[in-house]
Amino acid sequence: MTNEELKSYIETNYTSLLTHNEAGKYDLLFEVDAVNLVTVCEKLKNDPELLFDYFCNLSGADTTEKFEAIYNLGSIKKKIRIDIKVVLPHENPVIDSVQTVWPAANWYEREMWELYGIHINNHDNLTRFLLHDEWDEGYPMRKDWDAPDFIRFPDL
Amino acid sequence: MGIIKKLPIYSEKIPGGGIVTTSVEQILNFAQAKSLWYLLFGTACCAIELMCTGASRYDFDRLGMIFRASPRQSDLIIAAGTITKKMAPRLRTLYDQMAEPRYVIAMGGCTIKGGPFYYDSYSVEKGIEHIIPVDVFIPGCPPRPESLLEGCLTLQKQIQQRKLADWQEK
Amino acid sequence: MTDLRTEEFDINMGPHHPSTHGVCRLLLTMDGEKVVKVVPYIGYLHRAIEKICENRTYAMCIPILDRFEYVTAMSCNYVFSLAAERLSGIEVPERAEYLRVIMLELNRIASHLIFFGTTAMDIGALTPFLYALREREYIMDLFEMTCGQRLTYNYIRVGGVSKDIPEKFIPQCKVTISTITEKVEEYKRLLNKNPIWKMRTIGIGKLDADLAIAYGVSGPILRASGIDYDLRRDDPYSIYDRFDFNIPVYHNGDVFDRYMLRLDEIQESCKIVAQALEGIEEGPIRAKVSPNFKPAAGETYTRIENSRG
């Protein structure tokens, strides 16, 4: 399945759930509402045409106005890949866990919670694992995070 | 090896020539410098170079350096690789577990002053000198095996220059 | 023996342990000599690389990414450059693509040799470690004559590679890969029939295909579990579609299969390098990219086949 076919397939079958985002280059990027995330993920995984059974990566991003969570999904049988983006507000970002769909998401979600402060609903083990035990300086990957020994490079 | 092979020629001519007189200081220092057993403590990139140094081409063993897995059996920590803030207390524990006399080699930029992570990393310890005392610093990112060998030779020289008075308990 | 009372007990392994190459703490629940449960604690080498890269320009990121994955630093350089090139549509010169493939595959061999040596060392055989690192030094020599570094190369840049290979690279590389292809047979002879090695690897650490996919396992471990999935063939990047190579797949998913698969992959990588050395032609090695380069706005997520998954 080429990217064009995949795009038209998703646009016809997931009309109200996934919207195409032009920012994505090379691979397709779709946006989804935070409330629909788990249902969409289950549908994508069990769709016989797509079979997104492989959870590649989950990354977070802070655009200073919003938080973004980007899910990179792959399908081993169909050899296709898409990205799904969830946009979250800057105050109290909350997202549902997808670890019931892909168990691999567990640690990525923990990491996102730890470094970005995005709370994960229905997560079974939301504990700190990257930062050291006495850490109390907030969420380091946020853009507004600062510390005395953190030196920002000038814009070049 | 040259001296040892020639030794019998001279010593056997002299009655009682099998005995060598030397100072206690010299023999203690010699014994210690030539059998530095190091603790396998590699955390990052430098650990791979440490492995290379221990392997076939560079052959660490010829300096009398053999790796030990336990801090109780080792004389030297080669702190190879970045020490993060999470790892720092563990490094201190390992150092405390070693028996005296103990030595530390800081291998690589990260252990000296944080290396490439100095400016803008929130989790890297900026140098190990304020965790444990360091005897020899080896710069490089990562240092070549040759510089590690050079660092170990420097440490051996340092040990051999120690005075007996330094051994006294304070 | 039936009335023998056994009790589970916990062992703390790490964060400093001779067989954790890298740092990771495992809380093991043991039943005799059998591990029944593992709770991993990681983050002892969390160096905030994402934050550092956010703070720097694109050219400044590449040396930091060397330290990110120091056993196969080339592929980390490559995946970053690939992402930047896809975003801004930079065309990489032909010779640079060949050089990249040669370096990536040589680095894959080096990484698999480290796997082979250290795994055997941890299982109790020191000889393979000395053998594997002896052969690895030949590859390090090749990297050193090209970019001056043994481990952190900073070689693959956005738009191409940093330096051209010296004249003696190609003949020396040919010798190296033919030596390694032979030596792999020797490794197999050394270990495959060794009863202790077999006892300690066959059936140990089994990971079946469904579990491997569910937990997002990738690379050689996924292929050792019986899934024929290699991004060099299934999502081709660079010029991998021009080369003829096999993708070894094993089906038991235990330590022995992973070891066999990696040894086979070394031989396949040697094949790719040999073909690339035949096909390489003179030409420019780098597209024009400014040092303060910033790609066009947009997002892209790239993935490549790394030797460690």
Rounded percentage of chain B residues whose pLDDT exceeds 70? 97
pLDDT for position C2: 66
Whether C305 maps to a domain, the answer reads: no
**Is the CB of B95 inside 8 Å of chain C's CB atoms?**
no
Q: What residues of A are in contact with residue C51 (Cβ under 8 Å)? A: 140-141
A121: three-class secondary structure by DSSP = strand
CB contact burial A81-102 (16+ within 10 A = b; e otherwise): bbbbbbbbeeeebebbbbbebb
- Determine the residue of chain C that is closest to A74 in CA distance: C216
Distance separating alpha carbons of residues C244 and C246, to the nearest angstrom: 7
Q: Is the peptide bond before B142 cis (omega within 30 degrees of 0)?
A: yes
Number of domains comprising chain C: 2
Same-domain pairing of C26 and C120: no
Whether A81 maps to a domain, the answer reads: yes
pLDDT band at A46 (very low <50, low <70, confident <90, very high): very high
Instruction: List all chains that touch chain A, counting a touch as 3 or more CB pairs closer than 8 Å.
Output: B, C
Whether C239 maps to a domain, the answer reads: yes
Pairing of strands C25-31, C9-13: antiparallel
State which residues form the domain around A73.
3-94
Q: Identify which of C28, C24, C61 has the alpha carbon closest to the alpha carbon of residue C46.
A: C24
Tell whether the model's pLDDT for residue B90 goes beyond 80: yes
Same-domain pairing of C55 and C33: no
H or E segment and range at residue C41: strand C34-41
Whether A153 maps to a domain, the answer reads: no
C45: three-class secondary structure by DSSP = coil
**Is the CB of A111 inside 8 Å of chain B's CB atoms?**
no
Would you call B119 and A140 a contact, using CB atoms and an 8 Å cutoff?
no
**Is the CB of C44 inside 8 Å of chain B's CB atoms?**
yes
Q: Are A32 and A85 in contact (CB under 8 A)?
A: yes
Find the CB nearest B84 among C46, C133, C136: C46
Q: Is B26 exposed, middle or buried (0-12, 13-18, 19+ CB in 10 A)?
A: exposed
Same-domain pairing of C38 and C72: no
Same-domain pairing of C23 and C164: no
Range with lowest mean pLDDT among A83-92, A143-152, C68-77, C246-255: A143-152
Would you call A130 and C298 a contact, using CB atoms and an 8 Å cutoff?
no
Distance separating alpha carbons of residues C92 and A12, to the nearest angstrom: 36
Residue found by looking up tokens 């252990």 in the block? B111
Q: Identify which of C45, C39, C10, C9 has the alpha carbon closest to the alpha carbon of residue C26.
A: C39
Find the CB nearest B86 among A132, A150, A153: A132
Whether A41 maps to a domain, the answer reads: yes
Would you call C55 and A153 a contact, using CB atoms and an 8 Å cutoff?
yes
Q: Are C245 and C272 in contact (CB under 8 A)?
A: yes
Predicted confidence (pLDDT) per residue in C52-64, tens digit: 988 888 888 899 9
Tell me what the pLDDT averaged over chain C comes to.
Answer: 90
Q: Is C286 exposed, middle or buried (0-12, 13-18, 19+ CB in 10 A)?
A: middle
Helices (H) and strands (E) in chain A — how many of each? Answer: 3, 7
pLDDT for position C210: 92
Structure tokens at A113: 């919670």
Whether C177 maps to a domain, the answer reads: yes
Same-domain pairing of C175 and C142: yes
Whether C185 maps to a domain, the answer reads: yes
pLDDT for position C164: 92
Q: Are A45 and C205 in contact (CB under 8 A)?
A: no
Q: Identify which of C172, B49, C24 has the alpha carbon closest to the alpha carbon of residue A129.
A: C24
Candidates C45, C54, C137, C139, partner chain B, best to mutate (most B CBs within 10 A): C45
Would you call B123 and A132 a contact, using CB atoms and an 8 Å cutoff?
yes
Residue found by looking up tokens 């050193």 in the block? C144
Same-domain pairing of C99 and C140: yes
Distance separating alpha carbons of residues C167 and C161, to the nearest angstrom: 16
Edge-first strand listing for the sheet containing B76-80: B67-68, B38-39, B76-80, B103-107, B136-138
Whether C297 maps to a domain, the answer reads: no
> Which position has the higher pLDDT, C42 or C269?
C269
Q: Identify which of B37, B41, B97 has the alpha carbon closest to the alpha carbon of residue B67.
A: B37
Tell whether the model's pLDDT for residue A3 goes beyond 90: no
Number of domains comprising chain A: 1
Residues 6+ away with beta carbon under 8 Å from A102: A41, A45, A53, A54, A55, C214, C216
Structure tokens at B72: 């109780």
**Is the CB of A131 inside 8 Å of chain B's CB atoms?**
yes
Whether A11 maps to a domain, the answer reads: yes
Structure tokens at B31: 């014994």
pLDDT for position C187: 93
Predicted confidence (pLDDT) per residue in C221-252, tens digit: 999 999 999 999 988 888 999 999 999 999 99
pLDDT for position A15: 87
Q: What residues of B are in contact with residue A137 (Cβ under 8 Å)? A: 122
Structure tokens at C200: 């300690």
Structure tokens at A107: 């640690």
pLDDT band at A156 (very low <50, low <70, confident <90, very high): low
Q: What residues of A are in contact with residue C229 (Cβ under 8 Å)? A: 76
Whether C26 maps to a domain, the answer reads: yes
According to DSSP, residue C160 is labeled E
Whether A121 maps to a domain, the answer reads: no
Structure tokens at C274: 């040999």
Q: What number of CA atoms fall less than 13 Å from residue B123's CA on the CB side?
A: 26
Would you call C114 and B69 a contact, using CB atoms and an 8 Å cutoff?
no
Smallest Cα distance from C204 to chain B, Å: 24
Query: Greatest CA separation found in chain B?
Result: 70
Other CB atoms within 10 A of residue C222 CB: 25
Residue C116 belongs to a domain with what CATH number? 1.10.645.10
State which residues form the domain around C272.
49-279
Same-domain pairing of C84 and C127: yes
Tell whether the model's pLDDT for residue B170 goes beyond 60: no
pLDDT band at C1 (very low <50, low <70, confident <90, very high): low
Same-domain pairing of C173 and C203: yes
Residues 6+ away with beta carbon under 8 Å from C23: B43, B87, C14, C15, C16, C44, C45
CA distances, C126 to each of B117, C14, C48, C119, C193 (Å): 34, 21, 35, 10, 16
Q: Is the peptide bond before B15 cis (omega within 30 degrees of 0)?
A: no
Would you call B120 and A152 a contact, using CB atoms and an 8 Å cutoff?
yes
Distance separating alpha carbons of residues C170 and C175, to the nearest angstrom: 9
Whether C293 maps to a domain, the answer reads: no
Residue found by looking up tokens 């060949």 in the block? C98
Whether A110 maps to a domain, the answer reads: no
Whether A124 maps to a domain, the answer reads: no
Whether C148 maps to a domain, the answer reads: yes
Q: What residues of C are in contact with residue B81 (Cβ under 8 Å)? A: 45
pLDDT for position C260: 94
Rounded percentage of chain C residues whose pLDDT exceeds 90? 60
B104: three-class secondary structure by DSSP = strand
Whether A63 maps to a domain, the answer reads: yes
CA distances, B109 to each of B117, B119, B128, C59 (Å): 9, 13, 11, 21
Residue A7 belongs to a domain with what CATH number? 3.30.460.80
Same-domain pairing of C93 and C197: yes
Same-domain pairing of C163 and C69: yes
Distance separating alpha carbons of residues C117 and C125, to the nearest angstrom: 9
Same-domain pairing of C35 and C147: no
- Determine the residue of chain A that is closest to C50 in CA distance: A141
Candidates A129, A132, A135, A139, partner chain B, best to mutate (most B CBs within 10 A): A132
Same-domain pairing of C70 and C214: yes
Would you call C44 and B84 a contact, using CB atoms and an 8 Å cutoff?
yes
